[in-house]
Amino acid sequence: MGATPSAPGAPVERREGRAKVTGAAKYATEYAPPGRVYGWPVPATVARGTVVSLDTSAALALPGVLAVLTSDSAPRLADAGDPTLAVLQDSRVPHHGWPVALAVAETLEAAREAAGAVRVRYATEPHDVTLTVDHPRAYQPDEVNGGHPGERRQGDPDGAFADAAVRVDVSYAVPPLHNHPMEPHGATALWRDDELTVFDSSQGGDTVRATLAKLFALPEERVSVVCEHVGGGFGSKGTPRPHVVLAALAARHTGRPVQLALLRRELTELVGHRAPTLHRVRLGARPDGVLTSLIHEVTTHTSRIREFVEQAAVPARVMYASGSSRTSHRAVALDVPTPSWMRAPGEAPGMYALESAVDELACALGMDPIELRVANEPPAEPDSGRPFSSRHLVECLREGAARFGWDGRDPRPGVRRSGPWLTGTGVAAATYPVLVSPSRATVTAHPDGLYVVRLNATDIGTGARTVLAQIAAQALGVRVDSVRTEIGVTGLPRAPLAGGSAGTASWGWAVHEACRDLARQLAERSGPLPPGGMTASADTAGTADAESPYARHAFGAHFAEAAVDTDTGEVRVRRLLGVYAAGRILNARTARSQFIGGMVMGLGMALTEGGGVDPASGAFIGSDLAGYHVPGHADVPAIEAHWIDEEDPHLNPMGSKGIGEIGIVGTAAAIGNAVHHATGVRFRELPLTPDRVHV
Amino acid sequence: MKPLLYVRAESVGEAAAAHAGRPEARYLGGGTNLVDLMKLGVERPEVLIDISRLPLDQVEELPDGALRIGATVRNSDLAGHPLVRERYPVLSQALLSGASGQLRNVATTAGNLLQRTRCAYFQDVGKPCNKRVPGSGCGALTGVNRDHAVLGHSEHCVATHPSDLAVALAALDAVVELAGPGGGRTVELTEFHRLPQDSPDQDTVIRPGELITGVLLPPLPGGTVSRYRKARDRASFAFALASVAATVQVRGGVVRHIGVAFGGLAHRPWRARRTEAALLGSAPTPEAVARAVDAELAAAVPLRDNAYKVSLARDLACEVLGSLTART
Amino acid sequence: MEASDRPREHSPGPDSGPADRGGVLPPTHSRMTLKVNDTVHVIELDHRTTLLDLLREHLALTGSKKGCDQGQCGACTVLVDGRRVNSCLLLAVAQEGCEVVTVEGLAEAAGADGDLHPLQQAFLDRDALQCGYCTPGQLCSAVGMLEEARAGQPSVVTDTDRPTDAPVRLTVEEIRERLSGNLCRCGAYPHIVEAVQEVVVRDVAAREVIV
């Protein structure tokens, strides 16, 4: 590449790209410290009970086996506030797959065999792993994920619904979904005296450090965490997960560096999942489409050990004006693994249901679904009454309609047939909140003209190194190739995780502040820089997390064309197009990749992905990649991602909103709506596999 | 995986000799299924006899016009073989609709026939499975059984055979050649795989130490057309929910030759003899085809989650037979 | 730079197994020879060791990734004797005498001008990756796939009326089907397909110029 663009949003090539295409980029289990040995967990085969006895003798007799840690022998952990990390501390089995022992051996082969040779006897207790909408133990949580209230109501939604001229009362089901990043969760841990170093596959090294320090009762300075390259996470690496604790325990116990990677099928049970959600949506409208009542009720599961409630009714508090509303959650604590974040928790399943229901209402009204959304565009955030810092949903819908060729669409369902294929088109809106956290950063100007930006950001595939260099170059007024970014290891200025679509905004804000400060200092001085250069630092605590008087959200619109093979019920997405209003786009190249990636995951949610729990064992069925189908090349058409230029002065110095998650939001609804338009049949359970669609 | 002995066999005789008297021995072909099952702890061999380099990697035409496929011919080589593509499109299509390019480059003809079910209960040593541990029960019978059998299953096992290749071979009247301690023998492919009955641990009629050396494909009558079609959860790289292989020759408006087999429905490739009998000698009108297919599927007994398979298989078969009879 | 046609000897390091301590190998281990990226390795290993684990854990070639260890994701794809395979399902001992090319050796194996294979460059140009964990497998798979298509190997979407040994024209549909053994959770598929297409178009153009 010749010229180095440094204009805002320039499509600068990702800096770690070369290391990734040559195989040089190192991930958490690729460091091979001298003396490295291998850890292999033994998962529980029951859903609820206690370990009565654990016979490790056969395992220990195998050649190359160093140890088998159990709750009797493993080092003690302090409480770090996350029960999912309290592994090998007692004999309780809270769910299938919970680690009950950990084999450590000189080779992978010996470790696997040893883990399989551990004999475990359980005292089982009756378990319950089946979510139903009328589950007797369902309760209303006060708070759901993200700190949102469990229920909100305005006016008299039930009365308004009963009185509405046009009504839609529909139920949808989204199955458990699995993040399945391509790199399974893994870590390499080593102790030097009382200092712990881990190479971890995590979205945020500082959280891993703080948590490990608590668990092992160490000052944070004695824990180092390296997350140089991370093979995806999509929320499942947002906080430390048991693998890193197991690796650290085993390294402590054996005195050897321990490398441990979870098996693909173990990911479903140990690193979180998107909980299944059962939705009932009621929309009441006037004949002109104006909503008078919006009721979104969500029932979901959580585990017995840590409450996590997918906030799927929350986006309905943001999207549409309505005379009255109720958005509520009910949860059932089952004997299942603890659910957690998966790309756009809340929004992804919630907007599937809401945007499908809006489509159903449009059909009931005989109204174009875009016009119906426009008719219910709110003047301020419906739930809070706060003004939007910016909201360009209508512009996204209009721009998308023009690009997709929506105008002139025949709304009649089930009439476009070509051979066995029925085709249709669908639209859905997207939204995702603007989140941001405080971060620190430093920047150093060196005498040779190099600028070095330092902070413990994590690149999980977003291109953080690149976009942070662009932000720095902008703020410094220098060429982007004169900026180096150092991230991915604790000891660098503290930075929040890559999650909540907030990484770039949070880190970039601090980088921007530090660079502006440095630029001021440089402008004020004359003469050569000292040999060590000049450093400025920033900490956005108190600024980045200050309460905003505005409701801040990104918006978008998704358009899909689907074809349904009437011989088999197989659905193919032929076109997918997204238009986003997400503030200023900071790198057109890497942003496009993230938008498209989100849409691909939304396509999987619509068509191929779904976990199920085996009632007898409490295990996820289809827990490997042959049983749980993430979309492959052949499922994915050419995808277009566009954005509108959105200027919003109420965000951060870069004017950006998050882009990592909005691509999945509403995509499944757009595809489902297209399948309805194609077939005339409304399928309300995901995924749209032949067993459901073949009729 | 237990610590393993490894023997590389240079000849069939050497392979059989290495296996003799060692019930814990397994032949290793491409290994794409066996190595996976060893990692899962489902297969626990103590000796592997590597037969992947035996001189069984050729596809040859016999004087009677039949094709002899060596046991170690890789799936991708078989699918791309000019004679297979020309004479047995159904076979090429079946192979190419299975697995991935990487797997097809390694998986062998014999290994494909001997692959084990992908039933999730079979693959998890923590769950009951009569196929893996006789007498332990069938987890799928009352569990999650959307992917399971609708034909020929028993209370002991509701697993399906996952192969695409075997379904095509069943429709083609293929014959399996075996070598073993007691000498050689041949078995019709449709008799090679078993129904589970009360001994689902036995997938096939192969005897201890026996080895598949090849598969014979008889010539098809002139003018026969053939096709394979598969429905699945993902556009590529997924096992069949249901599939159909069919060969048809129509002369004078009447079906003169027909072979139909279903995949994804049973413990073995399901040869649809009733469908064939109903159509042979008749005019293949859409109504006749539908009746003939229904005659076969009338025997289906769906489980809790898989009733869809019956109508799916029906529509697949009607479409495939309809398109073939229109072409011939 | 060393000439690529001169194999380099590599003696096993301390990681190569417990075997060489006494000089006599246990019956569960073998000594084998394997050429990886133009380096000949003489290795003593446990028969249970897969080719992927040999590469990653013993030869420090961690470019090949372990995404599932079951042949279900393609991240471990390497070329063995020129064919793309899932290295996680191959026992290393059974590869005796084979030639393995991994992502680390792609450029060299292709005699690329510079340090990148044209596909690697196209992946960079098209931003055909995000987290990068599937990337080495996508690349090796694409290299193998291009060769298969050149040799006339059909896929399930190949037009059956085509002559059997002519190179297959790699439409977008063909590329997608043929690369379906390589999963990408970041959803880089559209850009990966574009990158492969770009190389295909360049290859075809080059062939036509030569013809």
pLDDT for A511 beyond 80: yes
Do C70 and A626 lie within an 8 Å CB cutoff? yes
Mean of the pLDDT values across residues B192-198? Answer: 98
Alpha carbon dihedral B192, B195, B197, B202, in 10-degree steps, equals 50
Interface contacts (A, C; CB < 8 Å): 187
- pLDDT of C115: 86
Quick one: tokens of A88? 């090998």
- pLDDT of A675: 98
Question: Which tens digit of pLDDT belongs to each residue from A626-671?
Answer: 999 999 999 999 999 999 999 999 999 999 999 999 999 999 999 9
- pLDDT of C162: 73
Least confident of B253-257, B284-288, C6-10: C6-10
pLDDT for C7 beyond 60: no
Mark which residues 102-161 of B lie under 8 Å from A by CB.
118, 120, 124-127, 139, 142-144, 146
Mutate to test the interface with B, among C30, C77, C86 (most CBs of B within 10 A): C86
**Residue B319 sits at the chain A interface (C-beta within 8 Å):** yes
Where do the domains of chain A lie, and which CATH numbers do they carry? 17-25+437-539 (3.30.365.10), 31-126+182-232+237-270 (3.30.365.10), 143-177+274-434+549-693 (3.30.365.10)
Do C186 and A109 lie within an 8 Å CB cutoff? no
* d(CA C87, nearest CA chain A) in Å: 15
The mean predicted confidence, pLDDT, of chain B is 97
Do C176 and B236 lie within an 8 Å CB cutoff? yes
Given phi > 0 = left and psi -120 to 50 = alpha, else beta, which region is A650? alpha
Do A112 and B231 lie within an 8 Å CB cutoff? no
Cα distance between residue A42 and residue A57, in whole Å: 15
Q: Give which of A627, C156, C176, A630 is closest to B75, Cα–Cα.
A: C156
- What is the DSSP code (8-state) at residue B194? P
* d(CA A158, nearest CA chain B) in Å: 36
Cα distance between residue B194 and residue B204, in whole Å: 5
Question: Which tens digit of pLDDT belongs to each residue from B45-70?
Answer: 999 999 999 999 999 999 999 999 99
- Give the other-Cβ count within 10 Å of A26's Cβ: 16
Q: Distance from CA of residue C126 to its chain's centroid?
A: 21
Element (H, E) at A609: none
Mean of the pLDDT values across residues A214-238? Answer: 98
**Residue A600 sits at the chain C interface (C-beta within 8 Å):** yes
Question: Which tens digit of pLDDT belongs to each residue from B282-326?
Answer: 999 999 999 999 999 999 999 999 999 999 999 999 999 999 999
Tokens 């798979």 sit on residue: C141
Question: Which tens digit of pLDDT belongs to each residue from A152-205?
Answer: 999 999 999 999 999 999 999 999 999 999 999 999 999 999 999 999 999 999
Amino acid letter, A549:
P
- pLDDT of C110: 86
Q: Which of C91, C141, C165 is closest, CB to CB, to B102?
A: C141
Cα distance between residue C170 and residue C180, in whole Å: 14
- pLDDT of A32: 98
Question: Which tens digit of pLDDT belongs to each residue from A345-357?
Answer: 999 999 999 999 9
Given phi > 0 = left and psi -120 to 50 = alpha, else beta, which region is B30? alpha
Where do the domains of chain C lie, and which CATH numbers do they carry? 3-107 (3.10.20.30), 116-210 (1.10.150.120)
Chains with 3+ CB–CB pairs under 8 A to C are A, B
- pLDDT of C12: 44
Indicate if A661 belongs to the active site: yes
Mutate to test the interface with B, among C31, C73, C153 (most CBs of B within 10 A): C153
- pLDDT of C160: 74
Question: Which tens digit of pLDDT belongs to each residue from A54-68?
Answer: 999 999 999 999 999
* d(CA A28, nearest CA chain C) in Å: 11
Cα distance between residue B52 and residue B111, in whole Å: 10
- What is the DSSP code (8-state) at residue A211? H
Q: Which residues contact A643 (CB under 8 A, 6 or more apart)?
A: A579, A580, A581, A582, A585, A591, A595
Q: Which of B1, B31, B102 is closest, CB to CB, to C181?
A: B102
- What is the DSSP code (8-state) at residue C55? I
Where do the domains of chain B lie, and which CATH numbers do they carry? 5-50 (3.30.43.10), 225-327 (3.30.390.50)
Predicted ipTM of the assembly: 0.97
Amino acid letter, A547:
E
- Sheet-wide strand order for A92-93: A92-93, A49-55, A119-124
Residue C15 pLDDT level (bands cut at 50, 70, 90): very low
The mean predicted confidence, pLDDT, of chain A is 97
Residue pair C102/C37 in contact by the 8 Å Cβ criterion: yes
Residue pair A149/A142 in contact by the 8 Å Cβ criterion: yes
**Residue A420 sits at the chain B interface (C-beta within 8 Å):** yes
Residue pair A495/A507 in contact by the 8 Å Cβ criterion: yes
The mean predicted confidence, pLDDT, of chain C is 89
pLDDT for A684 beyond 90: yes
% of chain B beyond a pLDDT of 90: 98
pLDDT for A4 beyond 90: no
C-alpha distance from residue A447 to each of A64, A486, A521, A522 (Å):
53, 18, 14, 12
Q: Which of B8, B92, B103 is closest, CB to CB, to C86?
A: B103
Mean of the pLDDT values across residues A302-306? Answer: 97
C-alpha distance from residue A371 to each of A314, A363, B162, C19 (Å):
23, 12, 48, 74
- pLDDT of C210: 54
Q: Which residues contact B126 (CB under 8 A, 6 or more apart)?
A: A43, A45, A617, A619
Q: Give which of A677, A667, A673, A609 is closest to A641, Cα–Cα.
A: A667
Q: Distance from CA of residue C163 to its chain's centroid?
A: 28
pLDDT for C5 beyond 70: no
Do C153 and B80 lie within an 8 Å CB cutoff? yes
- pLDDT of B182: 82
Residue C204 pLDDT level (bands cut at 50, 70, 90): confident
Do B234 and A635 lie within an 8 Å CB cutoff? yes
- pLDDT of C19: 43
pLDDT for C4 beyond 60: no
Question: Which tens digit of pLDDT belongs to each residue from B204-249?
Answer: 999 999 999 999 999 999 999 999 999 999 999 999 999 999 999 9
Mark which residues 240-269 of B lie under 8 Å from A by CB.
241
- pLDDT of A695: 77
Question: Which tens digit of pLDDT belongs to each residue from A369-421?
Answer: 999 999 999 999 999 999 999 999 999 999 999 999 999 999 999 999 999 99
> Which residue blocks in A480-618 are alpha helix, DSSP H?
503-524, 588-607
Q: Considering all CA atoms of chain A, what is the largest pairwise distance in Å, rounded to the nearest integer?
A: 79
- Give the other-Cβ count within 10 Å of A688's Cβ: 23
Do C181 and B89 lie within an 8 Å CB cutoff? no
Question: Which tens digit of pLDDT belongs to each residue from C105-122?
Answer: 999 988 877 789 999 999
Question: Which tens digit of pLDDT belongs to each residue from A265-290?
Answer: 999 999 999 999 999 999 999 999 99
